[in-house]
Amino acid sequence: MLSAAFTVSLAIKVQTPPTAVEWQRFVYGKSVEGRDLEAWETGQGTQTILVLGGIHGDEKNPVPFMKKWRAIAPCRPDQHLIFIECANPDGQNNQTRGNAHKVDLNRNFDADWSPEARAPRYFPGSKPLSEPESVALYELIKRTKPMRMMSIHGPLNCVNFDGPDCVELATEMSLACGVPVKSDIGYPTPGSLGRWCDASKIPLITLELTSEDFSTCWRRYQPALNVFLNFK
Ligand SMILES: [Zn+2]
């Protein structure tokens, strides 16, 4: 029979939350308007996973979603996590889709890049990687060699994927949060980060949130996050 003291100490142990992960902030570049391009990393493992939000500055939930996720994300000993809460700080500050040059950074990558835009807000820049924000992200990915990535957008409410071996992961995430898997978002995306990851053989999940109130949005998608981090 357990002693009363042992029972109490066991109960306290069970209720203690897991130790918070310690993150190191680093700056991987500067925006057009001189803001820090800020990232956070944790873990000493060899499996690097890179997640970013806010590459489109006028989308409502991705940046707070990244902040909340980073506050609770676990990190396994074999992992090295890199979180970019806001990849387009000028756009976030100015509430524009593009950066301060009005370039859609998610059309500015060097894969199937096209000078044509389906609407002004998709302006892809004067050439691939013309913008400091996309160059800095490109160089960070080249340097850290993530085994998989996720980019968080809104408000299309789907799990989209590019690159190799992503269907199973996207399907598991979809089952966890009840959001449909889509292999494309219904229109071409030349020069997108996804096209570049596909060409670079880096699995990329694009998680499209809704624009509903933040707490409802968080509850809807949160079950998919550990599926993403712990996949294989
Ligand atoms: Zn977007």
Question: How confident is the model over 39-48, as pLDDT tens digits?
Answer: 999 999 999 9
Residue keyed to tokens 């979180």: 83
Query: What does the DSSP assignment read for 5-62?
Result: HHHHHHHHHHHSPPPPPP-EEEEEEE-TTS-EEEEEEE---SEEEEEEE-SSTT-SSH
| 48 domain residue, yes or no | yes
Residue keyed to tokens 């060409």: 199
Question: How confident is the model over 81-94, as pLDDT tens digits?
Answer: 999 999 999 999 99
Annotated catalytic residue, options 59, 85, 133, 208: 208
| 8 domain residue, yes or no | no
Phi and psi angles of residue 180, each rounded to the nearest 5 degrees, phi first: -65, 150
| 148 domain residue, yes or no | yes
Q: Give residue 53 CA to ligand 1 midpoint distance, Å.
A: 9
Three-class DSSP category at 83: strand
> What is the residue-averaged pLDDT of the chain?
92
| 1 domain residue, yes or no | no
Q: Give residue 14 CA to ligand 1 midpoint distance, Å.
A: 40
Q: In the prediction, which pLDDT does 26 show?
A: 98
Q: Give residue 106 CA to ligand 1 midpoint distance, Å.
A: 8
Of residues 117 and 164, the one with the higher pLDDT is 117
Three-class DSSP category at 229: helix
Neighbours of 221 (CB within 10 A): 23
Mean of the pLDDT values across residues 22-40? Answer: 98
Number of domains making up the chain: 1
Annotated catalytic residue 168: no
Specify which of 1-5, 9-13, 199-203 reaches the highest per-range mean pLDDT. 199-203
CATH number where 82 lies: 3.40.630.10
Q: Give residue 55 CA to ligand 1 midpoint distance, Å.
A: 7
Q: Domain range spanning residue 83?
A: 21-230
Neighbours of 48 (CB within 10 A): 18
Q: Give residue 113 CA to ligand 1 midpoint distance, Å.
A: 17
Q: Indicate if the pLDDT at residue 4 is higher than 60.
A: no
Confidence grade of residue 8 (pLDDT, cut at 50, 70, 90): very low
Q: Indicate if the pLDDT at residue 1 is higher than 80.
A: no
Mean of the pLDDT values across residues 188-204? Answer: 95
Query: Which residues are found with C-beta within 5 Å of the ion, ligand 1?
Result: 56, 153
| 207 domain residue, yes or no | yes
Strands across the sheet containing 24-30:
24-30, 36-42, 79-84, 47-53, 148-153, 204-208, 158-162, 181-182
**3-state SS record for 161-223:** EECCCCHHHHHHHHHHHCCCEECCCCCCCCCCHHHHHHHCCCCEEEEECCCCCHHHHHHHHCH
